[in-house]
Amino acid sequence: MLYKKLSELTDEERNKLVGRGGGDLADVGETVAAILKDVKHNGDSALREYTKKFDGADIEAIEVSKEEIDEAAKSVDPELLANLEFAAANIRKFHEAQMPQRIWFIEVSPGIELGQKFTALESVGAYVPGGRASYPSTALMTIVPAKVAGVKNVVMCTPPGKDGKVNPLTLAAAKVAGADHVYKIGGVQAVAGMAYGTDTVMKVDKIVGPGNVFVTSAKMQVRDMAEIDFPAGPSEVLIIADDSCNARMAASDMIAQAEHDPNAVSVIVTTSEKLAEAVKVEVLKQAKETLRTEIVNTSLENAAVLVADSMEECIVFSNEFAPEHLEIMVEDEDAVLEGIEHAGSIFVGNYAPVPVGDYASGTNHVLPTAGYARLYSGLNLAHFMKSASIQRISKQGLETLKDPVISLAEKEGLQGHADSVRTRFE
């Protein structure tokens, strides 16, 4: 774990922090491309082959039956099921608030109305990771908003265990969220199945959801066949703090991110040297107490405790870092929030740790990582919709547009464009 004054970071140290994850996609590109090509040409047989190779599971049926899903939901502890439904309700409520007016118009001048019409995508594929842990919460985060938007067909792909079965809690979450189809395939092969379609797997218009570097690379490579949300890799948190922050709380938030993945990144930048020292001590202490010690200790090699000279310096660094998760644990929260320009999801106050957004507050936890928050927004209702512009124009309205359109069209040498307007007045 790096412990240093922010102003004393070497170029190499700063570049490593800010450029985390860079280059990984290129490293796996050829391997991913070969799998994509195989699934594209060989369909279900390739899906079964790669599921055996990468997940150690022999599967005959690729789609999880409705009966299996119902049985899985019944097997889940009723309290857990209630918690899933509680989280789904909050996620639904938050995303319903994002719903645009389906059709709207403004009158820009007499006889000219301009507007937009929003419609949902017809089909969406939700990728829910497996591997080191199961993520029923991701099933909720990807499927519920799609259904709120009005997507007719929402399919979910998630890898099976070695027994060829999907985690029952993940299946229960898919049912609660309203998935139309569930496929027990993961990794690059799942992305390929959803992008190209097979005899079993439905081809979709868009693929959303997080994954490892192979999944992210696959999503980036199939964009000619299916749109994607954004690159989403290992989890990360940046905490901006001052003397008002509780060191034990901040350290626990860093550990919470570290336990996700060996490549996860946890950083705190603070104006208080006293807090920085206390956080460092607490992180090392809590790392020994966590259940996922090996993953946490590996991840903490990517962690940093940084001391800034001013809160402005903290804000500048945060915007340069563009974190997936940003926690603001300072006395003057609004001033810091005002200065933030790049972040996937923002958590304000000592009692707003990242896990509340991961599970149950209602905001979406599918977020851009590795600095992509500079370019992309976290998953939201707009990802599942598209808009068309509308022009409703009367003869009176066209009269006011006639001369500018004819003049500009003829200047560009497009006589037919000019005549299509002119003929309406002959």
Is 181 known to be catalytic?
no
Is 324 known to be catalytic?
yes
Which residues of the chain, if any, have pLDDT below 70? 21-23, 131-133
* Residue 212 marked as a ligand binder: yes
* Residue 221 marked as a ligand binder: no
Per-residue model confidence (pLDDT) at position 425: 95
Cα distance between residue 169 and residue 212, in whole Å: 21
Task: Please tell me which residue in 325, 327, 365, 383 is annotated as part of the active site.
Answer: 325
| Residue 238 near residue 267 (C-beta atoms within 8 A) | yes
Per-residue model confidence (pLDDT) at position 21: 59
Per-residue model confidence (pLDDT) at position 22: 52
Per-residue model confidence (pLDDT) at position 19: 87
What are the pLDDT digits (tens) for 203-258?
999 999 998 889 999 999 999 999 999 988 789 999 999 999 999 999 999 999 99
Per-residue model confidence (pLDDT) at position 212: 87
* Residue 412 marked as a ligand binder: yes
What are the pLDDT digits (tens) for 47-62?
999 999 999 999 999 9
* Residue 417 marked as a ligand binder: yes
Domains and CATH numbers, the chain: 2-21+234-362 (3.40.50.1980), 24-228 (3.40.50.1980), 394-425 (no CATH)
* Residue 189 marked as a ligand binder: yes
Per-residue model confidence (pLDDT) at position 233: 79
Per-residue model confidence (pLDDT) at position 132: 59
Task: Please tell me which residue in 259, 282, 324, 327 is annotated as part of the active site.
Answer: 324
